[in-house]
Structures are given as structure tokens and as C-alpha cells.
Amino acid sequence: MEKMKLKLLYTDLKSDIDIIEKELENALNSSSHLINDASLHLLQAGGKRIRPVFVLISAKFGNYDIDNIKNIAVPLELIHMASLVHDDVIDDSDLRRGRRTVKAQWNNRVAMYTGDFIFARALEYVTAIENKRVHQILAKTMVEICNGEVIQIEDKFRVDQNLKDYFRRIKRKTALLIESSCELGAVASGLDEKNIRHLRRYGYFVGMSYQIVDDILDFTASDKELGKPAGSDLLHGNITLPIFYLKDHPIIKQFIEKASTGKVVEEDRLAMLKVVRNSEAIKQSIALSNQYLRKALKEVEALPNHQMKKKLRDIALFIGKRKF
Amino acid sequence: MNATYIQQAIEEFKNNISLHVRHRTLARYTGLPVSDESQLFYLLLPFLNGEQWDGQLEESAITVGIVHASLNEHDKIDEKNATSKEQQLTVLAGDFYSGRYYEILARLGNIPLIRQLSEGIAIRCEHQIKIYESTHYTLEEWYQSISVKHTELIKRFYQVYQFEHYTTFMHTNLLLLQLQKELQQLQNGKPSNLFMKMGESVSNDEKLLELKVLEEINSLRRLLNEYLQSSTFLKDELKLYIQQQLV
């Protein structure tokens, strides 16, 4: 339902998104039937394709040419897909979006090779673009995403971390790739520096809000909506925004302690969820997400008049209100 | 130039690879990047043989070493259980090295090598994943997969810099060395997953597999000696070094 609502937001981009979808299929085509099966498994799981959409919309502000822009939009989605395949190995996740993960369906090694294959295809694809700056932005993003994941592992179950640590983490985990999607779309379509900056900052703010909402939903959405047990983030030791407001709550403290030793039972999870859901932490987190969205909307205002401005606003508002 | 000089060049090259992917946390949990010295030798072979070589080419060669190190990290991941912090960071070490090779080549603006290496990585993954497929492959097909794993990226590097005349040596020698290593593991009762899968090609007859692989090794050895004897462009010291490595 949510995905449909999002898709309605960019119906006028549908023909180009269909091209991207087709290109994703082509890019994942392999001589190995196992890689084909794993890739098809991933493609069928769908996804919001939010990164390619940001590339397309940003490019619309410049000299838009889908044959050129697809060479940015497709690799960005592939990089996102590949990192999810590897993340599932790291998090030992058996389910994603309600479907079995590659590592659960086959094994960790198959997931590693599939992820590496997709990463490689992403880079192969982007070499159709000769602009050195494009590659530098994308490469820096890939390295920083990894750094973010390393930090995330280091920060697991660390209760003495502060909000700055959290923001640093979600910036690299999510905001950077959305920021780069907007920036790269703008750069590849030859937009001027001032507007590239506005779009990049828009992407960053939206990305931060997107991850905060994701972190809220991990507590507030149902297991069915999430396609995995609610509260999984904290169960895996990831201290997300709502928990910063509840770190001193005895039930939360106890839950983190138990989770760090792998002793959580279903009753503990439900008790933890009840505390978070009934607390002010959710409202406070939403307020922070909205602050980022306001900043994003300010960047949109600074852009030249274009019908895509409305789209950027609508997507930002959708992100703030999405239910899962 | 003697064996010591060559060995020192390889060691320095290995250190340079490590320096280019230095990361405090990853180093603490996953150690230094894993490099195969025979592969490093072949990356340096054009330089050692006196081909035109500059800083940019050296850095490009380093990125090939980084890609190998990246994929080697992912080969360390346990099929069933990667939940330890060390394993989790090993996944990320591979991804980080992969990002770093791209970052270096992007800075150099070396798009052709990015293209060649990414094509090579994709092909390598397709071959490595074969051991998890139910398809029946012949021994020759398995030899090809071993060869792709160990030579494809170096072959791509040679292509970009017109060093293709070294491909035959590299290809024959690296396959030979790898088969020797695998055979030794088999004889020590610790065959790799790949060799266990290869066993299916000879109805899981371990003795027959050993015999067939030995035949292949001898054939490759003869071939390599022929190439070395007939080569007019490779320095004698390098020919000697290659022969010494076989012993």
C-alpha cells in the first residue's frame, strides 16, 4: 500500500522508471544460474527504488537524457541491493521485506558472491560515464557507507554513546547514498554548482529523516508490516533514536543487557515494545525527523522554478508520514 | 636482479597494498589484507622485465592487488555462521577494500581499468559460485574456474596496459601453482570445498582425482618450461625465478 502511494507520486516518471527496472534486470543477468536465481529473488522482492527516483528527479533540473542518466540511476540501486545482501549476512537476517534473504535461501558464501557480483555490475555499468567527478563521488560514498557499517558494529550494545554518534551513523548508513543520488543526477545532467549543492543537501536531509522514520517504524509497525519481528534493531544491539530518549528506563536497560548476551525471550521483546510505543520517545523522534524535513523543504525552495520542485516536496512529506 | 631483489620488490608491493587500505578497526579484527605472492609477482612482472612503468601504473597495479585482497576476505566467510564480530568485520573489510580500489582508480580517472576489473570480478564470482550449483561440471571446466579465480584480474590489467605477451606465462604458472597447492591439501587429508566438489567429476574417486590432477600439473609444467625456453623477451633472471618457484 505504502509502496503504491509512493509510486503514485512519480507516475509521470513511470516510463523512465520502467526503463530503469528493465536495465536492472539486464545488469543482473548472469551466465551462472545460481546468481540469476539469487538476483531474481532480489528483484522480485521489489523495493521503493527511491534512489533511482532521486537521480531522475534531480537530473530533470538540468539537461535530462534518460540514456545518460540511467547509467547513474541503475548502479545506485545495484549498490543498495548488494549492500543489503551483505548486510543480511552481517545481521544474520533470514527475512527481508517478508521474503527469505539470499543467505537464508542458500548460504552466506552464495550471498557474498552474489553481493560482489552485483557491486561489480554496478561499477561496470557506471563506467559508461566518463566524468571523473561522478566516479569520485560514488567511490567516496561506497567507502563511507562501509565506514558507517564498521562504526555500527563497534557501537552495538554501547549504551554510553550520544546522539552525535547516532547521527554520524545514520548519515553514512542511509543519508549518504540518497545525498549522492541527488548530487549525481544533478552533476550528470550538467547542473550549475549552486543547484547541485541544494539538491545534494536536500538528499542529505531527506536521507536523515528517512532513516529516523525507519528506526521509529522498527518499533511502531507490526511484525507483518515489517516482514521481520518489530524491535529487531535493538535486539541486534543497534541503539536507535527512540532508545536515546529511553536509555535510563529499567525495562529498556534490562532488555539491552539481555540482548547483548542473547538471552531475550519473546516476553521481553513485547515488554520492550510496549514501553517504547507508549512513551514520548516516538513523538520526540518524529519531531526530529520533521526538523530534517523542514530543512529539506528549504533547499527545495532555493531551487529554480520547475515542476519537479513539487515532486521533491511531496516525496519529502511522504517520507515523513510513511507507515512502513 | 636476483631472487632476493624480486622478493623484496614483492614485499614492498604487498606493503603498499596494505597502506592503501589501512583501517584501524578492520586491521584490529581482520588483520592485514591477504595477498598471494605469486599473483603479486605477475602484477610486477612487466616492471621487473623493464617495461615502461610509472607511478600511475604502479598505483593501478596496486588496485588489482586490492581487488584480490577484497575477494580473499569474502572467501573467509563461513557458509553457515558469520555471526562473530570478526566475521562481520571480514564482510565489511572486503567491501571496504572494494570501495578503496574504486576510489583510487576514480582519482586517477582510470575508467578503462575500472571497467575491466569490474567485468573480471563479475566473471570470477560466476565461477566461484559454481561449487554451490547442482550442475555437473567436467574436470576441464573446474580447471577453468580455478584459472579464472587466480588469473582473470591480472589478465584484465595486462589488457589495459598492452602487456598481453605475459598472459601465457601468468596463466600457465598460476594455474599450475594453485593445482599443486590444492593437491597437497588433498594429500594431507584436508581438501578444499572446491576439490571436494571436483571429486564429483570423477565419481568421488579420490585416487583418480589425484592422478588426473597430477597429469594436469605435469602437462602444465612441460608447457611452462617450453614457454620459458622459447621466450625471447623475458629476462633470464626472471625465467630462473619462475622455475625456482615451481620447485
**What is the predicted ipTM?**
0.96
Which grid cell is B234?
623475458
Q: pLDDT at position A6, please?
A: 72
Per-residue pLDDT, A48: 82
Cross-chain residue pair A33–B80, CB shorter than 8 Å = no
pLDDT band, very low/low/confident/very high, at A8 (cuts 50, 70, 90): confident
What is chain B's mean pLDDT, rounded? 95
User: Does the pLDDT value for residue A228 go beyond 90?
Assistant: no
Phi, psi (deg, nearest 5) at residue A56:
-65, -50
Residues A184, A128, B68: CA angle, nearest 5 degrees: 95
* Beta-strand relationship, A95-96 and A99-100: antiparallel
Q: Please give the Cα distance from A36 to A31 (Å, whole number).
A: 8
Q: How does DSSP classify residue A304?
A: P
- At residue A230's C-alpha, the angle toward residues A225 and A231, to 5°, is 150
The full set of domains in chain A, from first to last, is: 2-321 (1.10.600.10)
Closest approach of B135 to chain A, Cα-based (Å)? 10
CB contact under 8 A, B121 and A116: yes
Chain centroid to CA A138: how far?
Answer: 15
Return d(Cα A278, Cα B224) in angstroms, integer. Answer: 73
Q: Does A163 touch chain B (CB under 8 A)?
A: no
pLDDT category at A1 given cuts 50, 70, 90 is low
Instruction: Classify residue B43 by burial, with Cβ atoms within 10 Å: 0-12, 13-18, 19+.
Output: buried
Percent of chain B predicted with pLDDT > 90: 89
> Nearest C-alpha of chain B: how many angstroms from A316?
29
Give B164→chain A minimum CA distance, Å.
Answer: 22
How sure is the predictor about B247, in pLDDT bands with cuts at 50, 70 and 90?
low
Q: Which residues contact A220 (CB under 8 A, 6 or more apart)?
A: A230, A276, A277, A282
pLDDT at B33 over 80: yes
Is A222:A291 a contact under the CB 8 Å cutoff? no
pLDDT of residue A174: 92
Taking 70 as the threshold, does the pLDDT of residue A323 lie above it? no
A317: left (phi over 0), alpha (psi -120 to 50) or beta: alpha
**CB within 8 A of A129, min separation 6: which ones?**
A68, A71, A72, A135, A188
User: Strands, E, within A194-260: which ranges?
Assistant: none
Q: What is the dihedral of CA A316, A206, A142, A74, to 10 degrees?
A: 10
B156 pLDDT exceeds 90? yes
Interface contact B84, partner A, CB < 8 A: no
What pLDDT, on a 0 to 100 scale, did the predictor assign at position A4? 65
Across the interface, whether the CB atoms of B115 and A127 are under 8 A apart is answered yes
Our CA angle for B220, B226, B228, nearest 5°, is 100
**Does A310 contact B at CB distance below 8 Å?**
no
What pLDDT digit, counting tens, does each position of A14-71 carry? Answer: 999 999 999 999 999 999 999 999 998 888 877 889 999 999 999 999 999 999 999 9
Neighbours of B54 (CB within 10 A): 9
In this predicted structure, the answer to whether residue A105 has a pLDDT above a threshold of 90 is yes
Question: Residue A189 contacts by C-beta under 8 Å, 6 or more apart in sequence?
Answer: A58, A59, A60, A61, A62, A63, A64, A65, A68, A69
The domain B3-246 belongs to what CATH superfamily? Answer: Farnesyl Diphosphate Synthase (1.10.600.10)
In the predicted model, what is the mean pLDDT of chain A? 93
Summarised one tens digit per residue, pLDDT across range A170-181 is 999 999 999 999
pLDDT at A257 over 90: yes
User: Residue ranges of the domains in chain B?
Assistant: 3-246
